[in-house]
Amino acid sequence: MFDFITRRRLIFGLIALLFVTISVLFIANLKLSVLDRVVTSYYSISSSNISIDKEQSISTCYQTEPIDIITYCQKCTSFERRSKAIGCLPTGYRELVICSKSNIKTLRSCLIPIHIQKENFWIFEGIILFICLLSIVSVQSRQKTLDKQMVEKIKRQIGENDL
């Protein structure tokens, strides 16, 4: 089954895979830097329109004052994560809170909810199990083909000795 994979082909394939991986990472980084420039220029142009909201969202009053949670922990959108929005940086999840004394609404980062962590863990375990089963099947099928080849070789040797 895997007899056509020589050492040279395997090394060439690994080098090609490494090249593709590095290329994808480079292109993704390049796109991210271009997007950062576009988002930065957008915010510098329209900063006068959102200055009040921006000041309130930058506030860290939740560290010193009692708070009320308006919206519970929610996942940030992909645009908010890429534009490094307030509250989305550390975990990718945020919640809207209002400080009781100063009456300022602000966004703060929150921990990834437990049910999402559990779900991600079981997805990871499922993928690992699938890879394990695939490896077992591949090794067993390879062993069967090698056993068949060995039996055929022994039969040929016995047949040659009989003549």
- Backbone dihedral angles phi then psi of residue 96, each to the nearest 5 degrees: -95, 125
Task: List, for residues 77-92, the tens digit of each pLDDT value.
Answer: 889 888 888 788 888 8
| Average pLDDT across the chain, whole number | 79
* d(C-alpha 68, C-alpha 95), whole Å: 11
Task: List, for residues 18-40, the tens digit of each pLDDT value.
Answer: 888 888 777 877 766 665 555 44
* d(C-alpha 42, C-alpha 47), whole Å: 8
Task: List, for residues 52-65, the tens digit of each pLDDT value.
Answer: 355 555 778 888 88
